[in-house]
Amino acid sequence: MTNSTQVNHSYKDNACELELHVRKANGEVSEGHTGRFVENIRNCDIFIEDYHVLIYLDVQLYKFRSTRRFDLKDLKNICFAFNSKDNVLQVSLPCLPSSEEEHPEKNSQENKTKTAERPLDLWKLKRITDNCLLKIDDNAELLRPEGSYGYGFASKFRGRIKTFDCDLDTITRMPEPDRISPLQRLIDRDIDEMKNFCRDQYKLNFVELQVPDGLDNPMHYTYNFKDATLDRDEEYLLHNLTAKPEQMQMSDQYDPMEVDCGLISILLAICYDVRFTSNEPNCESAWTRSILSATLTYFEPFTSLKDVAISFMRRSLIYPLYRNYELSRQCVEDCIAALQNNSQWILKQLLITHDCFSLNERAVFNHYYIEDYIRYVANQNICSNSHLQMLAHNLKNVLFDVFKKDLGLGLQELETELLKELITDIHIAASSTSEDESVETETDSSSTSSDSSDDSDSDGDSVIEQKMESLKL
């Protein structure tokens, strides 16, 4: 959720005064504007930690990082004041005494450097929405925040989700997405992923992908993007979904970036499944194509391609059978190639996904996402080949800027730990072999054997050194 709005601020005594400029339509739309406006000022969710405040206001995220530490002890009855004339929301948050006052020798530049070094850990955020009140203009009545958020394709759905006789608790972590803000969905996902990451499983697939007997190595699969001919059932489904002109129209207020990011999130999961099954979907495909997409599993909207790529790569190292960093990057490259080559292949894969979800309890994803994305990709007026190629170009640039450290799973430390263990095992094995041979053979044979062991050890070290070198990713 990188696409956030800056917050104006000032410090007064032991308080931090925040000012949020709210983007409301008010009957006027700026030229060239695309996206959504804040409609309900009470529809908000507020989180805070020592130096960060995150406020999700109806459809917009506001982030603020303080140079002074917030006082989190007694955060009760925090009052937000909204000026409907200027569309400004103001709030005062308590701060601890300034460290600069306690240590006057520290200059402002040092404080700025320290502030920039403070990362935001989502799991440390404290939700304070229930402790907040809202005052609108000069009204004496103080209002409580509400919680009614959009979800699904372009966040166009509101209200209680339709279950389609599905047990939502078994297929999604957000059985009530209308009551959970997108910010809370992001935080919940981050916490779940950190809990579910298995260090041993990642270690097992780090040096070499562990492929069970009878299965093809997904790294060796070769895509055929020309394989995009629709069968009769797929043509029938496509006709039913696109026959009515009104079904092909997009809402006046939607965020194009959110729609495209959702498409990429779903397509990345599809690309992993295509590699895993050699493009022959099986009984596990519905699970794979949903669990690897945070857009589906968490009803999470994205507005940053980098966030989408990182989310997919994290989840591909946590949930499926093969958890390998290079395989994850290869799937992103597959997605780039799909966007570059053939929109018809993407359309066919979405139709296949619809069929996979229809055969089990994931039909809810078809209603809220897949059917609309089928219409979206089929509509050349808004999703042309040039548009998909632009997405491919942007995603390719993003991949150049994604490294292991960005995944937040401690992969570099984990790999260093594993490689040290491997090096130790190699040297112990080489030492044991050398000692055994020196006892059982004559001096000249022992010397020859020792040289051979040294050569073998050097070869082993060269492989390890290559892996150590790869840690820079």
Residues 120 and 209 grouped into a single domain: no
Question: What tens digit of pLDDT does each residue of 150-164 get?
Answer: 999 999 999 999 888
Task: Count the residues in the chain.
Answer: 473
Residue 336 lies in a domain: yes
Question: What tens digit of pLDDT does each residue of 212-235 get?
Answer: 888 899 999 999 999 999 999 999
Residues 177 and 246 grouped into a single domain: yes
- Dist. CA 407–CA 311, nearest whole Å: 8
The burial of 263, by beta-carbon neighbours within 10 Å (0-12 exposed, 13-18 middle, 19 or more buried), is given as: buried
Structural domains in the chain (count): 3
The answer to whether residue 32 scores a pLDDT higher than 50 is no
Residue 444 lies in a domain: yes
Joined tokens for residue 140: 């004496």
The domain boundary, picked from 359, 378, 409, lies at 409
Residue 1 lies in a domain: no
| Beta-bridge partner residues of 63 | 54
Residue 447 lies in a domain: yes
Residues 382 and 420 grouped into a single domain: no
The burial of 225, by beta-carbon neighbours within 10 Å (0-12 exposed, 13-18 middle, 19 or more buried), is given as: middle
Residues 381 and 416 grouped into a single domain: no
Residues 259 and 386 grouped into a single domain: yes
The model's confidence at residue 360, banded by pLDDT at 50, 70 and 90, is confident
Helices (H), 103-197: 108-116, 168-171, 182-196
What domain range includes position 193?
Answer: 153-409
Residue 278 lies in a domain: yes
Model's pTM, two decimal places? 0.86
Residues 430 and 403 grouped into a single domain: no
| Beta-bridge partner residues of 45 | 56
Residues 376 and 246 grouped into a single domain: yes
Residue 142 lies in a domain: no
Residues 405 and 419 grouped into a single domain: no
Residue 63 lies in a domain: yes
Residues 392 and 417 grouped into a single domain: no
The domain boundary, picked from 409, 436, 462, lies at 409
Local structure of residue 249 (DSSP, 8 states): P
Question: What tens digit of pLDDT does each residue of 114-142 get?
Answer: 555 577 899 999 999 999 999 999 998 99
Residues 126 and 184 grouped into a single domain: no
SS3 334: helix
**What value does the mean pLDDT take over residues 50-69?**
95
Joined tokens for residue 390: 């632009």
Residue 144 lies in a domain: no
Q: What is the pLDDT of residue 342?
A: 81
Question: Which of 114-118, 296-300, 337-341 bottoms out in mean pLDDT, i.e. has the lowest?
Answer: 114-118
Q: What is the pLDDT of residue 242?
A: 93
Residues 398 and 432 grouped into a single domain: no
Q: What is the CATH number of the domain that holds 129?
A: 2.60.40.790
The answer to whether residue 34 scores a pLDDT higher than 90 is no
The domain boundary, picked from 85, 110, 136, lies at 136
Residues 308 and 248 grouped into a single domain: yes
